[in-house]
Amino acid sequence: MTYSEKTTTTKRITKHEKELLQNKTNQESLATAISTLENISANYCRGNRTSKGRIHELLLLLKHHEPKTSLSIRAANAISILDSMSQDKRIESHIRTMLWQVVSNLEGIRE
């Protein structure tokens, strides 16, 4: 196989295609994080109104599409809030684990 044959058979990913793939991955990570937070809010935060309010605030932050704020900045802000929530001693261990899963999903978001 000559050099010219190699270059024509291998597909090079363009910068635009990389951006589209990264955007798709970011949206999937965001959707997973939002669905986990909605699950926590609906099923586990009955007794603790403070946690439910903070999770509602997080959902608004992640769902709100403001042109000035990029997705990675919104994810970083949400991670900060989730970190402080996960250190609260009143939160049950299984909810804390779910919050860590959300943090893990949000940490994968890049721009």
Where residue 66 sits, what CATH number does that domain have?
1.20.1440.50
96 belongs to a structural domain: yes
31 belongs to a structural domain: yes
Whole-prediction pTM: 0.80
Dist CA 85 CA 77 (whole Å)? 13
Per-residue pLDDT of the chain (111 residues; tens, 9 = 90+): 555 555 555 567 788 888 888 889 999 999 999 999 999 988 877 767 788 889 999 999 998 877 788 888 999 999 999 999 999 888 889 999 999 999 999 999 876
Dist CA 54 CA 44 (whole Å)? 13
3 belongs to a structural domain: no
Residue 5: per-residue pLDDT: 55
**Domain encompassing residue 84:** 15-107
- Overall number of domains in the chain: 1
Dist CA 84 CA 92 (whole Å)? 14
Token pair recorded at residue 20: 């589209």
Residue length of the chain? 111
Dist CA 85 CA 106 (whole Å)? 15
Dist CA 20 CA 15 (whole Å)? 9
